[in-house]
Amino acid sequence: MQEICELCGSDALESVYTPERSARGISVHICGRCGLVQSLPRADRAPRAAPAVSSGADWGNVRYGKGFRSKIAVDAVLRHCDPQAALSLLDVGSNRGSFAHALLGAAPQAHITAIEPDERVAQSCAGLQRIELHVARIEDTPLETSRFDVVHSSHTVEHLAHPAHVLDDHRRTLKSGGVLVLDAPNIAILGADDIVEEWFIDKHLYHFSERTLSRLVAAAGFSIVERPDRDDAANLFLVARKTGAAGEPAGADPQEVEKAYDLISSYVATRAHNLAALTAVAAELHALAPKGVAIWGAGRIFDSLVVHGRFDARALRLLIDKHLKPHVGERHGCALAAPEELVRAKPGVIVVMSRGFADEIAAEARKFAPAAEILLYTDLLSRARTHLAA
């Protein structure tokens, strides 16, 4: 069957990129009419795999990142709604319930209908008061028309086979003037100069820009009242209000098409360069091993260092990751440790392997090991790139 673009309906979908280690044979396409980047095939409902902390496209099923986004969403609800009112909210993809916990704490009369297909994570909302939990996919959950004041959807829309249909249904379930609080990954991150992990993971079927996500939301009959923050290259967070009627289907956007092509070709070039530089980063860390090296962050960047830089994890004194530790016991033959273990291990060097949380991690590392030298992954990579270019 010929797939058509989810945003503009065109069949001009051109394959531009094949992700590394895709378990689903994914190919990334650009719509030649509107510029929406989308992964094909869209076959969803794949059987759930075991947790895979891979830097390739097969990464997934270790879900803990969404909790970091709860505060910004709760704050948005409080800006647009009366926290003392008996608000009715739909929380799509509730995950471990961090939004639900925070919102119910801030709005004492609110009631949440929580939808989460993964029973392993849904159970963390099960005991909460004022929550009705559905362990199901949003597409399979019948909901009343005009029932909710707020629909909150965080890092879910990019996983859906047909996000336009689901946004349309969110509009139907909202009361007149109801608010949509939407959060999704931002394709602008592909412009980062330190990316090493495969960004086009199998679980993401759509890769939105500010422009394509805003147009999809508008086409579903919303008017955007808070646009995404231009300084946040990682997330697209927006607030929209239900309008009277469904919007117009999206038309052509040649500028967005050109931007999408440029972004993906720059990603391919930058990432190839960075993967080559990882070998030099690994060599530098091996040379530091006699001082005792700890790495904080055992996720996708660390996996790239081992897989592409051929770093030997046995050279480490400590591998710390407090978020992954409960889900996976070890990475590449190295047991995961809690930050407190830094006190006993006394490493001479701590390497922070994180992009978004580097400052926070460095500050925490200093508390446990004040004498250790702290190196940031971004600095190590940028040094290695300079050497490579010389």
Contact positions vs Zn ion (CB under 5 A): 5, 7-8, 10, 31, 33-34, 36
Comparison of 32 and 117: residue with beta carbon closer to Zn ion: 32
Smallest distance from the beta carbon of 13 to Zn ion, in angstroms? 8
State how far the Cα of 348 lies from the Cα of 232, in Å rounded to an integer.
Answer: 34
Smallest distance from the beta carbon of 81 to Zn ion, in angstroms? 34
CB 98 within 8 A of CB 67: yes
Smallest distance from the beta carbon of 36 to Zn ion, in angstroms? 5
Comparison of 31 and 350: residue with beta carbon closer to Zn ion: 31
Comparison of 34 and 281: residue with beta carbon closer to Zn ion: 34
Comparison of 1 and 50: residue with beta carbon closer to Zn ion: 1
Token couple for 48: 């759930």
- Closest by CA to 304, choosing from 64, 54, 65, is 54
Comparison of 165 and 310: residue with beta carbon closer to Zn ion: 165
Q: Give Cα separations from 291 to 247, 332, 334, 354, 373 (angstroms).
A: 62, 21, 18, 22, 10
Report the first-to-last Cα separation within the chain, whole angstroms: 50
Smallest distance from the beta carbon of 15 to Zn ion, in angstroms? 14
Smallest distance from the beta carbon of 212 to Zn ion, in angstroms? 8
Smallest distance from the beta carbon of 154 to Zn ion, in angstroms? 25
Which DSSP letter does residue 179 get?
A: E
Cis-peptide, bond into residue 41, ω within 30° of zero: yes
CB 96 within 8 A of CB 121: yes
The total of other beta-carbon atoms located within 10 Å of residue 43's CB is: 11
State how far the Cα of 173 lies from the Cα of 153, in Å rounded to an integer.
Answer: 13
Comparison of 98 and 209: residue with beta carbon closer to Zn ion: 209
Q: Backbone phi, then psi, for 158, in 5-degree steps?
A: -75, -15
